[in-house]
C-alpha cells in the first residue's frame, strides 16, 4: 500500500520488490502521500481489511 502522491516507492522499486517477492501486490491510495493512514484513513482501512480477508 502506498500513497500515490508519495515519491517514497518508485516504479523501479516496485519492479525490484516483485522480483524478490513474486506474489507482492501494490495498492495505490489516491490523494495520499507517505502517511496514508492519516491522509486517507477510510481508504487505508478498506485496503487493509481486503488484504486480511
The pLDDT of residue 23 is 96
Strands 28-29 and 2-3: parallel
Specify the residue for cell string 516496485.
14
**For 2-51, what is each residue's pLDDT tens digit?**
999 999 999 999 999 999 999 999 999 999 999 999 999 999 999 999 99
Chain-centroid distance of CA 14 in Å reads 10
What tens digit of pLDDT does each residue of 16-25 get?
A: 999 999 999 9
d(CA 35, CA 6): 9
* Domain positions in the chain: 2-52
CA distance 9 to 5: 10
Predicted local distance difference test score (pLDDT) of residue 6? 94
CB atoms near residue 23 (< 10 Å): 5
Task: Tell me which residue has cell 507482492.
Answer: 24
Amino acid at each position: 500500500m502506498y500513497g500515490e502522491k508519495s515519491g517514497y516507492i518508485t516504479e523501479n522499486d516496485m519492479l525490484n520488490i516483485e522480483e524478490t517477492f513474486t506474489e507482492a501486490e501494490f495498492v495505490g491510495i489516491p490523494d495520499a502521500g507517505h502517511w496514508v493512514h492519516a491522509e486517507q484513513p477510510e481508504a487505508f482501512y478498506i485496503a487493509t481489511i481486503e488484504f486480511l480477508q
